[in-house]
Amino acid sequence: MRPWTRYWLTAAVAVPAVLAVVGIAVQGNDIERQISAESTKALSGAGDVVVSGRDVTLVGVPYERIPDAKKAVQALPGVRAVSARDPALGPLTISVDDKQVVIAGTTQQDAWRKQFLHVIGEYAHGRALVDHTSTSPGTDFAMTTTAAAALVSVLTLEPGSDVKVSVVDGQVVLDGVLPDAARKANTIALLERLFGKGVVVDKTRSA
């Protein structure tokens, strides 16, 4: 075979192969862009996405929204798998007495911080809400809005409580004074339903 013939045959095989690879790469980029756009839309501003092929990673989604966010993105056409980077659950404290409810902790989005406080305020039975919360990237409150609201509602239902609930390193510590044994038992039962019996540490005493 003449050299130029061999080179021509090689080119005839190689060029279509290269074009095919380029076509696949372009198509893959189009799919990624489409999935990224649709996933971002599905999150409605609740976080960001990182797309690799057909796999989606959720970033910056508030902890309590992750399950719903995963379902919404997983249902999109073309998505193969969805995972999430869980935010760091920093220390959270809720202190309650007859005058006020004090909340301290961090979350990654100011809008979610404000929503968290607004809902809790609705269940504080008229007590002043003192805000010691802040925003910090990659963090979130270590208690869902629903759980925090339920806890505050129970603690403020009647006067006589002077307690602090702290969520730190996977433990929920209840410390302070509750008005009677019944309120103490009800509060501990609520926390155990929300977090599990092996997680709650009771340091309270009855008045």
The residues, any chain, with a CB within 8 Å of residue 182's CB and separated by 6 or more, are none
Question: Each residue of 82-111: pLDDT tens digit?
Answer: 988 888 888 899 999 999 999 999 998 898
Residue 116: pLDDT band with limits 50, 70, 90: very high
> Looking at residue 27, what is its pLDDT?
47
The predicted model scores a pTM of 0.71
Calculate the average pLDDT of the chain. Answer: 84
Pairing relationship of beta strands 88-89 and 139-140 according to DSSP bridges: parallel
The CB-based long-range contact list for 175-183 (8 Å cut-off, 24+ gap) reads 175/203, 175/204, 176/203, 176/204, 177/204, 177/205, 177/206, 177/207, 178/204, 178/205, 178/206, 178/207, 179/206, 179/207, 180/206, 180/207, 181/206, 183/158
d(CA 161, CA 173): 15
Residue 46: pLDDT band with limits 50, 70, 90: confident
